[in-house]
Amino acid sequence: MEVSRTEVEEAAVRLLARREHSFRELTRKLERRGWPGELVESVLSDLAERGLQSDQRYAESFARSRVAKFYGPVRIRAELGERGIERALINQVLGGLEVDWFALANDWYERRYAGEPAQDFREKSRRQQALARRGFDHAIIRELIE
């Protein structure tokens, strides 16, 4: 069965119409549908050149959505990396967010623990781990819990 370039492009555009996707995400999704990798890469490169697919837009959108869900920079950086976004672009996007990470961590902490102080070392440790899983660095965690 011969696969046409148009079919691959239409499938990619349909996926992009729903939400932004990274180049790597689109590549995986289209290859899972059985289309050859070289054709997929070629089509996606063309879409990127035409501005229909943009890792920049994807990274900005993804980072803003994660901040809205109270995730910290460490986790956002890791998740963007897993999705194929280059380190330089990740640094640029995180730098451009203008987020007060301490205030974000504090807001989540207050919502989660309702202002109740940790009763013992074990509870304090559990809370530190929860903040670390959300992607906040140790300096912020230490300042919040101490």
pLDDT confidence bin for 116, thresholds 50/70/90: confident
Query: Are residues 11 and 47 located together in one domain of the fold?
Result: yes
Is residue 1 over pLDDT 60?
no
pLDDT for the residue numbered 104:
97
Whole-model pTM?
Answer: 0.88
Query: Are residues 34 and 71 located together in one domain of the fold?
Result: no
Its domain, for residue 28, covers: 5-53
Query: Are residues 16 and 47 located together in one domain of the fold?
Result: yes
Q: What CATH number is given to the structural domain containing 35?
A: 1.10.10.10
Residue whose entry in the numeric block shows the structure tokens 């998740």 = 79
Query: Are residues 91 and 117 located together in one domain of the fold?
Result: no
Please, which residues have CB within 8 angstroms of residue 83's CB and are 6 or more apart in sequence?
A: 22, 24, 25, 58, 62
Query: Are residues 89 and 117 located together in one domain of the fold?
Result: no
CA distance 27 to 39: 10
Query: Are residues 123 and 139 located together in one domain of the fold?
Result: yes
What total number of domains does the chain contain? 3
Query: Are residues 10 and 49 located together in one domain of the fold?
Result: yes
Q: What CATH number is given to the structural domain containing 123?
A: 1.10.10
Q: What is the CA radius of gyration of the chain?
A: 20
Question: Closest Cα to residue 94, out of 109, 110, 106, 79?
Answer: 79
pLDDT confidence bin for 114, thresholds 50/70/90: confident
Query: Are residues 23 and 48 located together in one domain of the fold?
Result: yes
Would you say how long the chain is, in residues? 146
CA distance 77 to 116: 30
* Percent of the chain's residues with pLDDT above 70: 98
Looking from the CA of 138 toward its CB, the CA atoms found within 13 Å total 0
Is residue 2 over pLDDT 70?
no
Query: Are residues 33 and 61 located together in one domain of the fold?
Result: no
Residue range 47-61, pLDDT digits in tens = 999 999 999 999 999
pLDDT for the residue numbered 115:
76
Query: Are residues 116 and 87 located together in one domain of the fold?
Result: no
Question: Closest Cα to residue 59, out of 83, 43, 40?
Answer: 83
